[in-house]
Amino acid sequence: MLPFSRVTIIGLGLIGSSLARAIREYMPTVRVTGHDADPNVRQIARAIDLCDDVTDTAGASVTDADLVVLCVPVRAMGAAAAEIADDLPAEAIVSDVGSCKADVLAQLTAALPGRAIIPAHPVAGTENSGPEAGFASLFQGRWCIVTPPADADPAAVARVSELWHRVGADVEIMDPQHHDLVLAVTSHLPHLIAYTIVGTASDLEDVTQSEVIKYSAGGFRDFTRIAASDPTMWRDVFLANKDAVLEMLQRFSEDLSALQRAIRWNDGDALFNLFTRTRAIRRSIIEQGQDDPKPDFGRSH
C-alpha cells in the first residue's frame, strides 16, 4: 500500500522538483501539489507540468495533504512551516529535506506545536538549483536519513521511510544531533574547503586566473564543482549547523598543521601513510556503490 495519497511539496528547487518528479514516476496515483514563494518558479513549474497542481499560496497547497515536505533553504523552514499552520489538516505529517536536522526540528516544532513532524535528509544532490535542475532518479541508490524526534509515532516514521524507499533511496534512522555531526564531516566541511580553495585561487597575485583555469585538470576543477553549489543553501547550512561544523573545522585545522609539519621536516613516511589510508576510503566508497568506479569520475576525454 502507498504510504501517502496526497503529497504537497513546498519549495520547487532542485530537491523539491526532483521529489515531485520521482513521486509522479514511481507512485503515479499519488496527487502532487506544489508551491514556491517565487512566482517565477511557480510559472516554470506549471510550464513544465511538474505537479498536478501549483498553488499561489502555501496555505492553499496543504488543505487536503496527508504529507507536506518542506524543500526550502534550512533557515527558511520555520517561516515556511508557519505559513501552513492554519490550513494543515489535523492528521497530516510534516517532513522536510534540509541538510541539517537539529536546527530544522527546533524550527518546525516551534512553528507547528503538537503536529506530527518527521524530518528527513536525502543525501543526494548536484551543484545546480531551481525547478529545471531536478530529475526523478536523483535519489536512486542514495541514502535518505530520517531523523524523528524522540517521541515520534513509529507508524509516521515508517510511512515517511516508505516514501523514500519508493523513490529509490535506502533509509537510515538517526538521531538529529548525530546526523549533524556526521554530515558536518562528510558534506559541510568538504564544501567549506572547496569554497576556500577556489576563493584562494581567485585571489592570487603571482598566478593569473587564466592560468588557474587553463591548468585546472590538475585537481582544482574537482573542487570547483562543489564550490559552484547554491550560495543561499550553503550560507544557511553553515549558520544552522554552526557547532558541528566548527568542531570538525578545529579537527581539520589540527590535521592540516600536522601535514604542514610533515612536509617541513621531510617526513615522507607520514605523508605516504596518510595517502595510503585515504586511497582505501575512496575504494570503499566505490565498493558501496556511492560513486562511479571509472577513472576521473567517468569523464570522457
Give the residues lining the site for ligand NAP (CB under 6 A).
Answer: 10-16, 36-38, 41, 71-74, 76, 79-80, 97-99, 121-122, 125, 129-130, 230, 233, 237
What's phi and psi for 121, nearest 5 deg? -140, 105
Calpha distance 168→54 (Å, rounded): 25
Give me the least distance between CB of 94 and ligand NAP, in Å please. Answer: 13
Residue nearer to ligand NAP on the CB measure, 225 or 251? 225
From the list 51, 117, 53, the residue with the least C-alpha distance to 88 is 117
Smallest distance, ligand NAP to C-beta of residue 233, A? 5
Closest distance to ligand NAP from the beta carbon of 175 (Å):
18
Q: Which is nearer to ligand NAP, 9 or 116 (CB)?
A: 9
Of 116 and 144, CB closest to ligand NAP: 144
Task: Please say which residue, 43 or 200, places its beta carbon nearer to ligand NAP.
Answer: 43
Smallest distance from ligand NAP to CB 82, Å: 9
**How many other β-carbons are positioned within 10 Å of the β-carbon of residue 124?**
20
- Which three three-digit cell numbers place residue 58? 502555501
What beta strand segments (E) does 130-215 contain? 143-146, 170-173
- Least distance (Å) between residue 115 CB and ligand NAP: 17
Q: Which is nearer to ligand NAP, 159 or 179 (CB)?
A: 179
Q: How far is the CB of 249 from ligand NAP (least distance, A)?
A: 19
Q: Which is nearer to ligand NAP, 99 or 107 (CB)?
A: 99
Which three cell numbers mark 155?
507508524
List all residues 6 or more positions away from 294 whose beta carbon is below 8 Å from its beta carbon.
Answer: none
Nearer to ligand NAP, 59 or 262 (CB): 59
DSSP string computed for 225-261: HHHTS-HHHHHHHHHHTHHHHHHHHHHHHHHHHHHHH
Pairing status of strand 120-122 against strand 143-146? antiparallel
Q: Kindly report the number of other CB atoms within 10 A of residue 45's CB atom.
A: 23
**What distance lies between CA 212 and its chain's CA centroid?**
29
List, in order, residues 6 or more apart from 155 with CB less than 8 Å away: none
Shortest approach of ligand NAP to residue 134 CB, angstroms? Answer: 8
